[in-house]
Structure 1
Amino acid sequence: MNKGKWMKALCAFFMVAVLFSVMPNLHVEATMSELKFDFGSGSVESGYIGVSASESYSQTKGYGFNTPENMLNVTASGTGEASDAVQFLTYGTKSTNTFNVDLPNGLYEIKVTLGNTARASVAAEGVYQIINMTGNSAADKFQIPITDGQLNILVTEGKAGTAFTLSALKIRKLSDTPVTNRTIYIGGDSTVCNYYPLDSSVQAGWGQLFPDFISAKTFQVRNMASGGQIARGFRNDGQLEAILKYIKPGDYFILQLGINDTNPKNNTTEAEFKEIMRDMVGQVIATGATVVLSTPQGRATDFNSEGVHTSVNRWYRHATLALAQEENVPLVDLNVLSSAYFTSIGPIATSALYMTGDSLHPNRQGAAELARIVAEDLQKQGLDGFSIDE
């Protein structure tokens, strides 16, 4: 980095450091509380702090890599702060190969921009924060409470053999209170999960579009669904762990699985599926949060000879219905609700809501319709926070 760019980055850091550290009791407004890091060995974007892979953490600076020997500077195909990146050579949600930033305790919004990667997840504080970001320069954000004075973040597994890279990080303080805003957590599979870019992807999951149908003043949405997921995987491989770390009374957990569990390769009987789901329901209920079970929609082709769409025997639906009744938790029977909608618009219009040549996965318009159906059913059930007036 040349002298002029270094001085500019240093000045930017000290200005923000004053706001974050010298006046810890001051309630900092959003426009005055943003730290921005530009990773890699290339030029540093204006207003950002440049961070090379070799830059180790120090208390004096208040930021840096915990184990820089496990980091690598790499190029990236984006522009501006996304034109270069660092690659994490060791990773995993429990890895100590993290980028550390000293922060006063409080609630923060973290925006992450990846470098070049096919699929990667983001972890912080030992758990997943974002699941399976896909494509070069993919960007997303999340809320996180800081209670120990430091953010520890890394990019980790999304797909084996993929480079896990980070181009930029923006940190914005939301509150002095280290508690997440009221949250709807969503668990599911490829019909539910996020696709990138979030605001323009052709394919989408209904969890991705769900924020469009609820009040942003009442809830934030954390979509923890992932493609190909089964109940056992969601429970055992880190997604449920991340939810349990933060979920609290007043929050919701909407859980929709079953499609991949029915695939023989996953070796899960309906009885086993039901008990794994029951275990997850019980763990979340124990936190004081509310669980909502949902059944998956059917295929675009599930029309009978009378033009009625029906798929009531698919995806272990009956186990989900029985579990909701046995555990006394709300149920969104999206399977039946979506079939009623598909019947009303007919086979041709229904096919137009799915990816071309694909009878299972909704496109963006289809995901929006499914999200609308879920939100409207929660409103009809009168669940707290979903009222049209709220």
Structure 2
Amino acid sequence: MKRVLKRYGPIFKALIFLWYFLPQITLAQEGNQKTEWKFDFGTGEVQAGYEAVQPWDIYAAEKGFGFLGGTDLIGIENLEGDPLVIDGVSSLDPFYFLVDLPEGNYDVTVYLGDLQGKSATTIRAECRRLMLEETETAYGEIKALTFTVNIRQPEIGNTGERVKLKERELDYLHWDDKLTIEFNGENPRVTGLEIQLNTRAVTVFLAGNSTVVDQAYEPWAAWGQMFPVFFQAGKVAIANHAESGESLLSFQRENRLDKILDLMRPGDYLFVEFGHNDQKTGGNHLDAFTTYKETLKSYIASARQKGGIPVLVTSMHRRSFDQNGKIVNTLGDYPEAVRQVAHEENVALIDLNAMSKVLYESWGPEYSKKAFVHFAKGTFEGQEEDFADNTHFSTYGANELAKAVVEGLKNTDLEVIKFLKPGIVPYDPEIPGRFEDFYWPLSKRTSNVKPDGN
């Protein structure tokens, strides 16, 4: 025994040291990690403790922040006032500000307005994720508004695994190591920006297909990218992991579910909406009442094992009318299979399938085209043919479906509903909002390529 201690004693001591001190060293390192970033926009005096951002500051990796090139930015400078609001930037076109950040949830506070003018600003993040609807400021008014955003990277913890991204995803403004904020609207003016790491917010993960994803390009949209604007800042972060063309099986095979589970903490949510692509023949096909139900139950079990709360969402209908103006079910038994699983597993259900039938029939065959990607050729740059897509939504249609999902959520007993913004008007799919009243200033990124899936 003495020989063993003499020979291996130093190793034992080293192991004891690591066992006792390593967690404390790690915590200390975490405590020293940066959790706050502050930026003062404009050419005037810089607020103490803030980074100066001038109109010509284009993003560079060595700096870690800056504007995306390709937009002419205008400096705003006033004679007197606090340094943070006395000056700012504006543009006649949408402009983008990028900041290098680790993945996680962040509270972002923007200072909007002009001490000698008016402003009107819409803010989106990452891939056109709606964070703040059009916000107006009166002459001389500055508003400080906060939203909570989730950003992510393809790596899955320390496993050495990654999400198997499709080639088109390499051009997306999510899945990278930075936060991208889009300033848009009739007269966007921003004077300052503050970013604070938020480790307390509930994360709502979305798993789904092209009807849920943050569509990266105009004119396409989905309900998931409209969802964040309905929740209170600081309380909930929407992490939309949906991707076009996905089914329950492919989402697993590409490590997308593993990525969510790696990030999930007790009390987080997993919203699941598939069906459009699962019904198709091929390697990802699942039979509605057997393998589809079984796979859904495996998602539920995985989320619960992590302390998460699963929520099932039935797939909305495609735009398919009969001669009497009634919706034709093109999704077979898949929505009913979801309802059965929700009942059998005691999981909250948002029946978007049922609500979408009422919604589409309220619009009717002709007006419903405004909710889908139906645009005459030449509407968008480089568009040489008509768009006529009866699966994928326009921004107006995606927003109406997001309202339906929120209404379905309000009818559950889930704790997360207490974090919805106060004053949300009840949504009745029989009386949808009018296209003519919906405002969405176009982003600069457009595509003539239809998203995967149908």
TM-superposed deviation, 1:310: 4.9
1:236: which partner in 2? 253
- Consecutive unaligned residues of structure 2, counting only runs of 5 or more, are 1-28, 40-47, 72-99, 109-124, 129-148, 181-193, 375-387, 423-454
TM-score normalised by the chain length of structure 2: 0.52
Give yes or no for the alignment of 1:385 onto 2:399: no
Kept in 1: contact 2:279–2:331 (CA 8 A): no
- Consecutive unaligned residues of structure 1, counting only runs of 5 or more, are 1-20, 37-44, 53-62, 64-76, 81-100, 112-129, 134-140
In 2, Cα distance between equivalents of 1:102 and 1:294: 32
* 1:359 maps to which of 364, 367, 390: 390
Which residue identity is paired with 1:286?
A: Q
More displaced stretch, 208-217 vs 232-241: 208-217
Q: Deviations over 1:270-319 (max 9, x none)?
A: 22122111111110012222111011111112x34443335285361121
* 2:275 maps to which of 245, 255, 258: 258
* 2:70 maps to which of 79, 87, 93: 79
Q: Deviations over 1:256-279 (max 9, x none)?
A: 001101011233222212211111
Give yes or no for the alignment of 1:314 onto 2:336: no
Alignment of 1:63-212 (within 5 A): 78-79=69-70, 109=106, 142-143=150-151, 157-159=165-167, 169=178, 174-175=196-197, 179=199, 181-197=201-217, 201-212=218-229
Q: Deviations over 1:38-77 (max 9, x none)?
A: xxxxxxx74866549xxxxxxxxxx9xxxxxxxxxxxxx9
Which residue identity is paired with 2:317?
A: G
Give yes or no for the alignment of 1:283 onto 2:302: yes
2:286: which partner in 1? 268
* 2:405 maps to which of 369, 374, 389: 374
1:248: which partner in 2? 265
Which one has the largest radius of gyration?
Answer: 2
**What SS does the aligned partner of 2:257 have?**
helix
TM-superposed deviation, 1:344: 2.0
In 2, Cα distance between equivalents of 1:255 and 1:279: 12
Give yes or no for the alignment of 1:297 onto 2:296: no
**What SS does the aligned partner of 1:211 have?**
helix
Kept in 2: contact 1:187–1:224 (CA 8 A): yes
In 1, Cα distance between equivalents of 2:237 and 2:396: 22
Report the identity percentage. 24
Kept in 1: contact 2:223–2:402 (CA 8 A): yes
Which residue identity is paired with 1:220?
A: A
TM-superposed deviation, 1:343: 1.7
In 1, Cα distance between equivalents of 2:407 and 2:49: 37
Q: CA RMSD in A?
A: 4.7
TM-score normalised by the chain length of structure 1: 0.60
2:191: which partner in 1? none
In 1, Cα distance between equivalents of 2:396 and 2:170: 30
Kept in 1: contact 2:163–2:254 (CA 8 A): no
TM-superposed deviation, 1:337: 0.8
TM-superposed deviation, 1:167: 9.9
Kept in 2: contact 1:278–1:323 (CA 8 A): yes
Q: Describe the shift of the 1:34–1:195 C-alpha distance in structure 2 as closer, same or farther (beyond 3 A).
A: farther
TM-superposed deviation, 1:109: 4.5
Kept in 1: contact 2:150–2:238 (CA 8 A): no
